[in-house]
Amino acid sequence: MASSGEDRRAWVPLGSLPEFADVTPLPQDDGPSPVVAIAYRDEFRETMDYFRSLYSSRELSPRSLLITTLAISFNPANYTVWQFRRQVLEALDADLTDELDFTERVAKGNAKNYQLWHHRRWVAEKLGSDAAYRELEFTRKIFYLDAKNYHAWSHRQWVLQALGGWENELDYCVQLLEEDVLNNSAWNQRYFVVTKSPLLGGLKAVRDSEVDYAIEAINMNPQNESPWRYLRGLYNDENDAWLNDSRVPSACLRVLKAKRNFKFALSTLLDLLCLGFKPNQEIRDAITSLRTPDSGEVGSDSDLAKSICSILGHEDPMRANYWTWRSSKLPQAAEV
Amino acid sequence: MISIQNGSHLASTYCALAILKIVGYNLSNMDSESILTSMRSLQQPDGSFMPIHIGAERDLRFLYCAAAICFMLNNWNGMDREKAKEYILNCQSYDGGFGLTPGSESHGGATYCAIASLRLMGFIGDDCLSNASAPSSKANIQSLLDWSLQRQVADGGIQGRPNKPSDTCYAFWIGATMGTLGANKFIDEKALRSFLLTCQSECGGFGKFPQELPDLYHSYYGLAAFSILGEAGLKPLCLELGVTEAAATGL
């Protein structure tokens, strides 16, 4: 709830205000047998009674705008109120930059509210590409408090695609990842930028440096799932290129040799083997040295893959059944 | 009293129909035609759904609601399933999970909406796992599987996104996704059960994290997760509808 105890002391009944003297409040119709009826506070009930009245008479006036402000403060999830507010704003030809200020105030206690973000998008769309900078700044402020706010990320992606502002986006991802390399939202945004930015030339143009970037992150924190997924994602639907980038198995080898936090290194090698990757002796030796008593010999490639699944059953025991299943699904060795 | 104009909302319609099924109402007594006609006009050119005609955000949640409604009414005139499937596939992220919109970060709740919708629409069969590595124009099931299973973390609970804390409700969102694919045996059930019990409140119900006060949402999803885990005394669920099997089939 948005209202605090302080607001309650300050509440002035709408019925006593001259601005609303000619409005007949319209009570909520819950029908003859209400189920789970809500125990509304008087201020809420009165506000909504006045909202219903103005809404049903379709009055698009300054006092209607005020009533939506009040109603939103009580329940910012009421989408009918927000929709009516938009109609009023249009009818009054209101200055929408004021509306940006309003949404920022509502966002303070309600940063994860769908209606708020939809409203913000509506305002930004009306303001056009001039609004891009302010929208990027707004989401940046939200990320300062919660760098993974899903709504804010959706909004930011929409802003970039609809209004522009791509110039500093990659730098922003770098900054966020420097602050927290575990921020999966920032990794996702990075993927979004390198694949969709009109300024970078497309994924293929930047893939090389992105592979290096991901591997650097892997080297620092091999247990961080995000850069592993990112690395694989850079080669989605391009298995030949994935198989031929020698930096990938090298990165896996480096992690294996350290003998700690190697589950993603192993599953990445498993993925490569299933696609036909031919590992060198160094990789075979590294896997051999991680073998557990039941891992078996690592003779052929399919034996190697089976060994990996077995090691993963011990290294990633929560998913032991999954690794057993993966082992049973391995491509047969016989096909040459 | 005068009733005010109240536009229909897909989420409300889904809930209303599901509740009616739960209490044993025969949905063939309903006026399906008007629901389905109204729904058709909510589908967008890219296959996604708006929830309400006056306009609102569009994402996988409402596509799921639409699919569930059509399924419950046993009438697919309300939506273009092929277009809907296309939108869902566009929501699959580079890491195998699904986001709420194309380009969005993969997320447990969105992933459930995607897979449950595909199942409801008839695009996922019972043999999904055996074809997991087959290349096709469908979802990349292998990477979805791998991503989803890594969502179970050290405390036994399940997170909604990588590197985020585990939360009761994802036991359902991810658990049901795995169940729909026939992969729930790959989840460490003992560890998950153990985590969920730490989220159970002394006053009953479940909170989102251990020590959190309970709320209806997490209580429902915690209980639903226990049903998926085969807890004695709990009815089996129709995973893709979010109601018991008994309610889903109308018995």
Catalytic status, residue A329? no
Residues paired with B92 in a beta bridge: B98
Please give the DSSP secondary-structure letter assigned to residue A32: S
**Taking the domains of chain A in order of start, what are their residue ranges?**
1-93, 255-336
pLDDT (tens, 9 = 90+) of chain A, 336 residues, equals: 444 444 445 788 999 999 999 999 999 998 899 988 899 999 999 999 999 999 999 999 999 999 999 999 999 999 999 999 999 999 999 999 999 999 999 999 999 999 999 999 999 999 999 999 999 999 999 999 999 999 999 999 999 999 999 999 999 999 999 999 999 999 999 999 999 999 999 999 999 999 999 999 999 999 999 999 999 999 999 999 999 999 999 999 999 999 999 999 999 999 999 999 999 999 999 999 998 877 777 677 789 999 999 999 999 999 999 999 999 999 765 433
**From the candidates A108, A112, A196, A257, which is the catalytic residue?**
A112
Give all strands (DSSP E) within chain B, no chain letters: 237-238, 243-244
Contacts of A233 in chain B (CB under 8 A): 93-95
**Spatial separation of the C-alpha atoms in residues B90 and A28, rounded to whole Å:** 42
b/e map of A43-67 (b: 16 or more CB within 10 Å)?
bbbbbbbbbbbbbeeeeeeebbbbb
Answer with the residue of higher pLDDT: B129 or A63: A63
The two tokens of residue B136 are: 């096709």
Per-residue model confidence (pLDDT) at position B119: 97
8 A C-beta contact, residue B115 and residue B179: no
Helix/strand/coil for B1 = coil
Kindly indicate whether the ipTM for this predicted assembly is greater than 0.90, answering yes or no: yes
- Interchain CB contact of B188 with A (< 8 Å): yes
Q: What is the pLDDT of residue B251?
A: 55
The confidence band for B134, taking pLDDT boundaries of 50, 70 and 90, is low
Average pLDDT, rounded, for chain B: 94
Q: Which neighbouring-strand residues pair with B166?
A: B159
Q: Do B100 and A148 touch (CB under 8 A)?
A: no
Q: Which residues of chain A does B55 touch, with a Cβ-Cβ cutoff of 8 Å? A: 83, 122
Q: How far apart are CA B172 and CA B217, in angstroms?
A: 11
Task: Tell me whether B107 touches chain A (CB under 8 Å).
Answer: yes
CA dist B156 and B215 (Å) reads 21
Taking the C-alpha atoms of residue A44 and residue A76, their distance in angstroms, rounded to an integer, is 12
What pLDDT was estimated at residue A295?
A: 72
d(CA A152, CA A214): 24
- Its pTM stands at 0.95
Q: What is the pLDDT of residue B136?
A: 54
A323 in reach of chain B (CB within 8 A): no
- Interface with chain B: mutation pick from A52, A79, A116, A119, highest number of B CBs within 10 Å: A79
Query: Could you give the CA distance from residue B169 to residue B237 in angstroms, rounded to a whole number?
Result: 15
The Cα A307–Cα A65 span in angstroms is 68
Q: Which residues in chain B are contacts of A56 at CB distance < 8 A?
A: 2, 4-5
- The CB density around residue A106, as the number of other CB atoms within 10 Å, is 20
Q: Mean pLDDT across the stretch B204-224?
A: 96
Residue B81 has pLDDT above 70, yes or no: yes
Q: What angle do CA A189, A252, A286 make, to 5 degrees?
A: 165
